[in-house]
Amino acid sequence: MAATKEISIGDISARSNAGETELQGETMALNVGPSHPTTHGVLRLKMELDGDVVKKCEPVLGYLHRGDEKIAENMTYNQFVPYTDRLDYLAPLANNVAYAMAVEKLAALEVPERCEAIRLLCCELARVSSHLLGIGVYGMDAGAWTVFMYTFTEREKLYTLFEELTGARFTTSYTRIGGVARDIPEGWLGRVVEFCKGVLPVLDQVDTLLTRNRIFMDRTVGVGVISKEDAIAYGLTGPNLRACGVDLDLRKDKPYLGYENYDFDVPIGTTGDCYDRYMMRAEEIRQSVRIIRQCIGKFPEGSYYAEDARKIFAPQKAKVLTSMEELIQNFMIVTEGPQVPAGEVYFEAENPKGALGFFIVSKGGGVPYRMKIRGPSFCNLSILDKLIPGHYLTDITVILGSLDFVMGECDR
Amino acid sequence: MAESDLAQLTERFDFISERKSSDHPALNCPAGMLVDFCRALRDDFGYDMLVDVTAIDWDVQSPRFTGIYHFLSTTKHLYLRIAVDCTDDLKPSLPSLTELYAAANWHERETFDLMGIHYEGHPNLTRILMWDSYPYHPLRKDFPLAGIEVPLPADDVAEVTKATVIPAPMMGGPFVSSGDGPMSQTEPSARDESWTEKKEKPAK
Amino acid sequence: MHNKNVAYDSKVEGEIIVTQADAVINWIRKHSVWPMPMGLACCAIELMAAGASRFDISRFGMEVMRFSPRQADCMIVAGTVTYKMAEVVRRIYDQMAEPKWVVAMGACASTGGMYRSYATLQGVDRIVPVDVYVSGCPPRPEALLDAMIKLQDKIGRESAVKNLTTKTTTPRELVGAGRES
């Protein structure tokens, strides 16, 4: 007859007292590889797991490093605009504007009010687009497929607007040095107002699905907490920084494009966990809609490009084909690029993902000598090897989704 | 406010000199004093965020490499640019700022990867954007945009597909003109004119 | 000319359909292509848009986007392939089970696109054999759907039974491998 044996599950000390060998394992190496649905883009995480808990995490980047900075040294300033689209490819208009403003700072060029208003409108629409996708994909990662479908439908409406304005759904290449490529079409502003009317109810629906959702809150509240000091030390910017409680928004603190004339709030978080970061983005969409409505309300008349920028902005086609002086000017600008004086400039714009910075060194002429692109996602991701250890494996999805990074601007 | 900061800094540190800049105040700093200077910037002057670390390759000039740091004060909302010349042209090196600013870690790795500047005191100075066994520093001026032929980083894939890291074909673009000289030279032309659709590529 | 259509005569056969094995196998395969989205860059966003409600790739039976290569039929390479990423793309292609197809979506996947630099693979056909190239930067979702329909036509023309009965499948030639330019 077999003797009965008492086993207590989970009580290691009891087992070791009973003389059984302790259940101790080694850590397991897990590779969340570059091709993975969770990692938004090609990010690789080399992790060491102790059971379900992550002990070490090392992010590996560079799988989308295309050599943008080297290419910039061989392209004229206007030729580089399409490459800026593909940096943060969820909000291409915002990148275009940031780049154009950096070069215009170098050239000490002022653009007219209408051009500024168009650019501001583009930036805010791009912000809405990027945050909609951020929330949608975040919901999808946490298991809520419907949110993804709702936000993508709204983004399709935005794509129609962008296509009408610029000719492309996204990757717009809309700005030029000294202005924008073309003026806004007839009735476009009315359609933007219609869109704004439509996006807020959808945002409310997403709110009812996610914000007080028991499962979503269990997964995100208290997970991935970043402290204020860490956020500043690691160079975080954008909603990730503001969720930690740091009040830094370049639109308010170093205003550009006329942001100081508009009345809007900047949401600031309290705990810096994943839930806060989600709430940041949802609230920022509402604030962006507020800015868009105000901007359209007092949209200035005028020219969409700096007409006195003789050596920088190519003149209109009608004049080029009829007048000699404009013909020569067009030829010089197209072949040699916009003539920008020598100097060094650094300009940061408040992009949806964070602060996108362009450091341009020019020795005169139409081609930059050195261009450094400070991608916000690069800095946002640097916190990963401190943030992830200590969390469960299933929290990785939620943390990565909440940081809302894009590998295009991380690797350039 | 930026001017008062600049004035205070140049007064307090005698090794600092002002640098010409199109926008934010910029200072030159010698490499040896960089860490102490940055500590003072962070603790006394409130420049608590390091937003960017990069470098410029001046090619034929000496000093050849200049490290550039951008700081932002989250309280005063001011930017500051610090330029540090590397003393050695062949093996450029700068002190690392990872103890003061955690953000410097990845930025310095990237500058090491692309420019070849060695950061002393960096905990893990390895390549971050290119693969580990890549032998060159791509952003240097003597490295061509098209690249130099090296074997593919993965041996098994290279064996099966017979692919290597080839120099990218520049024929057909980008069209850039030199900007000075007679019109015949400044006309846009392909970068590599040794072979065209009609003329075969010369054997290596 | 092979007639790959179904032949059915209800008076003679009743409830039996007479056709060629190729026709049936190809018909089944082409209407349930499960893509494996190798979404690398901006084209991945248009791929997601093609899968969302406006352009609905589900009409063609392709909404099941399996991220595991073992469960997928067609690898859609959407985005720039860098040399660092090339080995990953190839390894995932090798893990896919036959029959498998590859769609190079966008300019970057087809030929390297506008990124003529030291780090970009000049066309994914250097490492995997490609069936359909889609041009565009990024291609509109309609263009991607057009490409998937072309892929369906291509699958319809395959000689499936011959491939089933051979012991090993001959690997298809890499178009770009060993190419100088």
- A352 within 8 A of A131, measured Cβ to Cβ: yes
Contact list, A133 vs chain C (CB under 8 Å): 45
Tokens of residue A302, six digits: 């005028």
In a domain, C42, yes or no: yes
3-state secondary structure at position A308? coil
The percent of residues above 90 in pLDDT, for chain A, comes to: 38
Smallest Cα distance from A266 to chain B, Å? 15
**In chain B, which among 150-169 make CB contacts under 8 A with chain A?**
none
Check whether C102 has a pLDDT greater than 90.
Answer: yes
The SS3 call for residue B151 is: strand
Q: Nearest 5°: phi and psi at B50?
A: -95, 110
Q: Are strands B78-85 and B26-28 parallel, antiparallel or unpaired?
A: parallel
Q: What is the phi/psi pair of residue A58, to 5°?
A: -125, 110
Output the DSSP codes for chain C.
----S-B--HHHHSS--B--HHHHHHHHHHTT--EEEEE-SHHHHHHHHHHSTTT-GGGGT-----SSGGG-SEEEEESPPBHHHHHHHHHHHHHSPSS-EEEEEHHHHHH-TT--STTB-S-GGGTS--SEEE-SSSPPHHHHHHHHHHHHHHHHTS-HHHHHHSSSPPPPPPSSTT---
Which chain B residues are closer than 8 Å to A232 by Cβ? 48-49, 74
Percent of chain B at pLDDT > 70 equals 81
User: Is the predicted pLDDT of residue C93 greater than 70, yes or no?
Assistant: yes
pLDDT 10s digits, B73-88: 988 888 999 999 988 8
User: Does the pLDDT of residue A192 top 90, yes or no?
Assistant: yes
Inside any domain, residue C26: no
User: What is the pLDDT confidence band of residue B14, given thresholds at 50, 70 and 90?
Assistant: confident
B contact residues 51-90, partner A, Cβ 8 Å cutoff: 51-52, 54, 56-57, 68, 70, 72, 74, 77, 79, 81
d(CA C114, CA C78): 15
What is the nearest CA distance from B177 to chain A, expressed in angstroms?
Answer: 6
Chain A CB contacts of C52 under 8 Å are: 148-149, 152-153, 156
Written as six digits, the tokens of A410 are 């991380």
Of A83-97, A264-278, B144-158, B169-183, the one with minimum mean pLDDT is: B169-183
Per-residue pLDDT at A1 exceeds 70: no
Segment of A284-293, A306-315, A361-370, C110-119 carrying the highest mean pLDDT: A284-293
What does the DSSP 8-state code read for residue A22? P
pLDDT score recorded for residue B10: 79
Helix (H) or strand (E) holding A402: helix A395-403
Could you tell me whether strands B78-85 and C101-105 are parallel, antiparallel, or unpaired per DSSP bridges?
unpaired
Which of B196-200, C12-16, C18-22 is the most confident on average?
C18-22
pLDDT value at position C1? 37
**Residue C97 predicted with pLDDT over 60:** yes
CA-nearest residue of chain A to C55?
Answer: A156
User: What burial class does residue A60 get, using C-beta atoms within 10 Å of its C-beta: 0-12 exposed, 13-18 middle, 19+ buried?
Assistant: middle
C128: distance to nearest CA of chain B, Å?
8
**Higher model confidence: residue C138 or residue C6?**
C138
- Per DSSP, A396 falls in state H
Nearest to B103 among A71, A366, A379 (CB): A379
Q: What is the CATH number of the domain that holds C155?
A: 3.40.50.12280
B: neighbours with 3+ CB pairs under 8 Å?
Answer: A, C
| Out of A108, A357, A370, closest to residue B51 by CB | A357
ipTM value of the model?
0.86
A35-49, A318-332, B99-113, C162-176: least confident range:
C162-176
Are the beta carbons of A357 and A374 closer than 8 angstroms?
A: yes
Averaged pLDDT for residues B169-194: 59
pLDDT at C52: 82
pLDDT class for A330, splitting at 50, 70, 90?
confident
| Rounded Cα distance, C113 and B173, in Å | 11
Band of pLDDT at residue C142, cut at 50, 70 and 90: very high
Res. C10 pLDDT band, cuts 50 70 90:
low
Q: Hey, what domains does chain B have and what are their CATH numbers?
A: 2-129 (3.30.460.80)
User: DSSP character for B128?
Assistant: S
Q: Is C40 touching A (CB cutoff 8 A)? A: yes
* CB spacing of A153 vs C67 below 8 angstroms: no
Q: With contacts defined as CB-CB under 8 Å, which chain C residues touch B143?
A: 118
Contact C82 A66 (CB under 8 A): yes
Query: Residue A372 pLDDT more than 90?
Result: yes
- Identify the three-state secondary structure at position B67: strand
pLDDT attached to residue C8: 62
Whether chain B has a CB inside 8 Å of the CB on A66: the answer is: no
CB contact under 8 A, C126 and B146: no
Put simply, the answer to whether C181 touches B173 (Cβ < 8 Å) is no
Domain hosting C118: range is 31-165
Contacts of B4 (CB under 8 A, 6+ apart): none
In a domain, C95, yes or no: yes
Nearest CB neighbour to A357, from listed B22, B48, B52: B52
Residue C143 near residue C133, CB atoms below 8 Å? no
Q: Which residues contact A402 (CB under 8 A, 6 or more apart)?
A: A138, A220, A224, A274, A277, A278
Asked if the model's pLDDT at residue B1 lies above 60, the reply is no
Instruction: Look over chain B and give the mean of its residue pLDDT values, rounded to a whole number.
Output: 81
Task: Answer yes or no: is C59 within a domain.
Answer: yes
pLDDT confidence bin for A338, thresholds 50/70/90? confident
> Number of Cβ pairs closer than 8 Å across A and B?
121
Tokens of C38: 């190798």
Model pLDDT, residue A120: 93
Does A40 score more than 80 pLDDT? Answer: no
Q: What is d(CA A326, CA A310) in angstroms, rounded to the nearest whole number? A: 9
Give chain B's length: 204
pLDDT at residue C179, as a whole number: 38
Residue A17 scores a pLDDT above 70: no
The number of distinct structural domains making up chain C is: 1
**How distant is the Cα of A410 from the closest Cα of chain C, in angstroms?**
12
pLDDT tens-digit profile of C164-174?
766 444 455 55
Q: What is the mean pLDDT of residues A177-187?
A: 88
Give the Cα separation of C88 and C77 in Å (integer): 12
The pLDDT score that the predictor gives to residue A193 is 93
Partners of residue C92 in chain A, C-beta under 8 Å: 35
Q: Is residue C7 part of a domain?
A: no
Among A58-62, A162-166, A332-336, C138-142, whose mean pLDDT is lowest?
Answer: A332-336
Window from A253-257, A258-262, A315-319, B93-97 with minimum mean pLDDT: A315-319
What pLDDT score does A128 carry?
94
Q: How far apart are CA B84 and CA B56, in angstroms?
A: 10
Interatomic CA distance for residues A68 and C119, integer angstroms: 10
Residue C11 within any structural domain of the chain: no
Angstrom CA distances, C34 to A42, B37, B133, C68, stand at 21, 59, 36, 11
Tell me the mean pLDDT in the region A397-408. Answer: 89
Q: Mean pLDDT across the stretch A88-110?
A: 91
Residue pLDDT, tens place only, A236-277: 999 999 999 988 999 998 888 889 889 999 999 898 899 999
**Per-residue pLDDT, A323:** 86
d(CA C146, CA C136) in angstroms, rounded, equals 12
